[in-house]
Structure 1
Amino acid sequence: MAHALRGKSAIVGKGYWGLGKTPNTSPMELIAKATKNALDDAGMDLSEIDGICGGTFYHFFPTLSIAEYLGVKPTWANSDMVGGSSFMSYLVEATMAIQAGLCKNVLICYGSNAKSARDLNGLIETPQWERAYEPMVPVPGYAFTAQRYMHEYGVPKEHFGHVAISARKWAQLNPDATMQTELTMEEYLASPSVADPLTVLDCCLMSDGGAAIIVTSADRAKDYQEKPAYFLGGGNAISHREIAQAARLTTTCAAESSKRAFDMAGITTQDVDVVELYDAFTINTLLFLEDMGFVKKGEAGAFVADGNIAPGGSLPVNTNGGGLSCVHPGMYGLFCLIEAATQIRGDGGKRQIDDVNIAIAHGNGGTFSNEYTAVLGSEAAL
């Protein structure tokens, strides 16, 4: 029996603005411009928006600030925060709110001028017992995990490099991606260390950028001008707050979130055409591919090294270039959803994959603390 939420909502508009560096532009301006692009994409008027989910890096009452800035008075809003995976959560919560009749059209949005402002002080909490060491949160936690992964499975550093190189190859097909130059293994291995074993090229970009999607009911989705990307399934899992409290280091709770999402959607990994992963660091891509069941534990590196996730490979991953080479304005999750919807709609240009009916958008919050998997599908997948 199909889950009550399966196929009940759809993304009908998507947009972003200001990717890279946009000096003298506030987070709210970035949200507003991305929202306009999403509305134009859908053929929808701002007056039709009656639900808001979203945030920035800087606002304590984000939905209040967004609503006031845009001049919208929503009947429903939500801004719970679990990091970069929040936007997958918003998609599920928007679907529930629409189904419950609390609103009709939900704007999910995000804006950050993290690169231009360079003001991250106090934004990322440092655990009480680690403050004395002044760690550059969250990099050491991911490095800790990467080191353990290399030790446990005998993974060479080059396998991390193939993740970065694959992302760069996709970025070169995306005119909106920040990094357009070729990346070689020699350049990767020569990259300066940030937190052993992670180097600069293992880490996501620091960008500015605004992003927005518009979610409506499946019944109303065809009233708008673009092909809908339907919500098929979503799954959440929480493991810990700080990596020091994780029960295990080389298996994330994406194993749980993806199972819940896949069960709701009624799919297996064999049904998936494209995967958009939250690649804040190269280790993320390797662990998520394993934990979601695309490859066995310890085998993701060899899988990536064989070219499987790069253009022309058997499993297209992060087709926009990902957080490593496209954009990462503090939180990346909404861009995963946008790219998944792009592939479903078939408007990805040179990076478009043929006949995409099932796309995964996976979000990561904290240091592998919260994982949220969303499954989008075409009309044929309903």
Structure 2
Amino acid sequence: MRTTTGTTTDTRGRRRPGVAIAGAALSDTTASPATAYSLHAQAARRALADAGLDRSVVDGFASAGTGVLAPVEVAEYLGLRPTWVDSTSVGGSTWEVMAAHAADAITAGHARAVLLVYGSTARSDVKAGRRTGNLSFGARGPLQFEAPYGHTLIAKYAMAARRHMIEYGTTIEQLAEVAVQARANASLNPEAMYRTPITVDDVLSGPMIADPFTKLHCCLRSDGGAAVLLVAEDLLPDCRTRPVWVLGTGEHVSHSTMSEWPDFTVSPAAVSGRLAFERAGLTPAEMDFAQLYDAFTYMTLVTLEDLGFCAKGEGGAFVEGGRLQVGGGGLPVNTDGGGLSAQHPGMRGLFLLVEAVRQLRGEAGERQVSDARLGVVSGTGGWFCSSGTVVLGRG
């Protein structure tokens, strides 16, 4: 059971302290910074300043994707010596899973203030010819049965999308609608990388990347960093911002080898979302917005189904008619423009949390969802390999 302040009670009625996000910020995302570490630092400083707290209060730290010993190296760079750390790495859902772990740690009294931070120079690395890694991981382990055939990450997503189209009649125009509406939201976001409106025809006429995905079905590549500070309830009087409460979380891992994925039309968000909503004591129908990982248009569509916003197979119809746009009369999704239009520096899960916090505080400017009180964030990792879902609310 949850109270309106974020405090919970257990089955015996005993009070459990609430956990809130007190600070959230992005680094500069369009310029070319010196290093990924500098992006971590910029985002971390801004998140702490947003909360009105000094770094000395931070006793928990979570990071992944940079250095050999993340989060040890990044914590050292930031001048932190945490007593609780997390380096969970499950792809794009890493940050929602880390937020869940951080909330549990704070509730258990293992930490009072946990900083989640990420930074990447993915775009600059490509432009400079620097290799940034391969998500197929060569031909080692289970993936040795796929890598020799050139089965790339994008091919896996494309194959899953095609399966949905075959089974449920989802059209390429409906998938293109996801990109069009993401761009419409991005047009309201001064921090978005691409803001010029696009049409369904623009999406369909672009160069083919992996059938059925043309270029605009795929996320952009950017530099950028993000940070979120989660705190115990007793720290809130020292904070300068309105708290955003962590109401419920869920996580789930599915597969790494495509042959071990039972159903290409069902993502692991079907489990992580159910758990998050159950633990929050809320339903999808109560959400005012959704921030969903969108490396490809199909990810948005199938995640909407799996979180319960529409029935399985009805995602195509659900996304039509501008329903994902801010002010579109439906469910605003990826209000900042998402990975398809705003920014996508390697892993985007932490950016989803920052945008959700801004919406719940009423700080999103032209793209603000009217009277937003509840929202859901859901990250996806790998090729639908993992999912983390977080339900958030303002007090």
Identify whether the pair has TM-score above 0.5, normalized to the shorter chain: yes
1:184-263 to structure 2, matched below 5 A, reads 184-263=199-278
What residue is the counterpart of 2:384 in the other structure? Answer: 368
Q: Secondary structure at the match of 2:239?
A: coil
Distance 2:70 2:135 in 1: 14
For structure 2, the 5+ residue unaligned runs are 3-7, 11-15
Distance 1:46 1:14 in 2: 14
The answer to which of 269-278 and 3-12 deviates more is: 3-12
Q: Render the CA deviation track for 1:166-195: whole Å, top value 9, x for unaligned.
A: 000000000001011111122111111111
What residue is the counterpart of 1:173 in the other structure? Answer: 188
1:128 aligns with 2:144: yes
1:305 aligns with 2:317: no
Distance 1:134 1:270 in 2: 41
How far the C-alpha of 1:75 sits from its partner, in A, is 1.0
Distance 1:87 1:361 in 2: 10
Q: Render the CA deviation track for 1:105-163: whole Å, top value 9, x for unaligned.
A: 1110001101101222345524212222234x310100010111111111221001100
Check conservation: 1:14, 1:41, Cα contact below 8 A.
yes
Distance 1:107 1:146 in 2: 35
Distance 1:157 1:187 in 2: 12
What residue is the counterpart of 1:264 in the other structure? Answer: 279
Distance 1:294 1:364 in 2: 17
Distance 2:117 2:133 in 1: 23
What residue is the counterpart of 1:112 in the other structure? Answer: 120
Distance 2:258 2:42 in 1: 36
Q: Secondary structure at the match of 2:29?
A: strand
Distance 2:17 2:285 in 1: 20
How far the C-alpha of 1:217 sits from its partner, in A, is 0.9
1:20 aligns with 2:30: yes
Distance 2:340 2:316 in 1: 17
The answer to which of 12-21 and 231-240 deviates more is: 12-21
Using a 3 Å threshold, how does the CA distance of structure 1 residues 356 and 143 change in structure 2: closer, same or farther?
A: same
Check conservation: 2:288, 2:375, Cα contact below 8 A.
yes
Check conservation: 1:209, 1:329, Cα contact below 8 A.
yes
TM-score (norm 1): 0.95
Matched AA of 1:359: G
Q: Render the CA deviation track for 1:37-74: whole Å, top value 9, x for unaligned.
A: 11111111112211100123x42211111111011111
What residue is the counterpart of 1:76 in the other structure? Answer: 84
What residue is the counterpart of 1:9 in the other structure? Answer: 19
1:183 aligned to which of 198, 211, 233: 198
1:33 aligns with 2:54: no
Check conservation: 1:218, 1:230, Cα contact below 8 A.
no
Distance 2:357 2:327 in 1: 20
Check conservation: 2:53, 2:238, Cα contact below 8 A.
no
1:140-159 to structure 2, matched below 5 A, reads 140-159=155-174
The answer to which of 157-166 and 235-244 deviates more is: 235-244
Superposed CA RMSD in Å reads 1.5
1:95 aligns with 2:103: yes
1:353 aligns with 2:369: yes
1:319 aligns with 2:335: yes
Q: Render the CA deviation track for 1:307-355: whole Å, top value 9, x for unaligned.
A: 1111222111000000100111110100111111111111000000111
2:299 aligned to which of 280, 284, 288: 284
Q: Secondary structure at the match of 2:64?
A: strand
Distance 2:257 2:198 in 1: 33
Distance 2:168 2:17 in 1: 39
Distance 1:61 1:141 in 2: 29
What residue is the counterpart of 1:163 in the other structure? Answer: 178
1:44 aligned to which of 49, 53, 62: 53
Q: Render the CA deviation track for 1:1-21: whole Å, top value 9, x for unaligned.
A: 456698721110111112135
Check conservation: 1:49, 1:74, Cα contact below 8 A.
yes
Aligned length: 376
Distance 1:110 1:121 in 2: 17
Distance 1:4 1:331 in 2: 34
Q: Secondary structure at the match of 2:27?
A: strand
Using a 3 Å threshold, how does the CA distance of structure 1 residues 187 and 54 change in structure 2: closer, same or farther?
A: same
How far the C-alpha of 1:305 sits from its partner, in A, is 1.5
Distance 2:182 2:374 in 1: 20
What residue is the counterpart of 2:349 in the other structure? Answer: 333
Using a 3 Å threshold, how does the CA distance of structure 1 residues 31 and 124 change in structure 2: closer, same or farther?
A: farther
Matched AA of 1:374: V
1:63 aligned to which of 64, 71, 96: 71
Identity between Structure 1 and Structure 2 (%) = 42
Q: Secondary structure at the match of 1:109?
A: strand
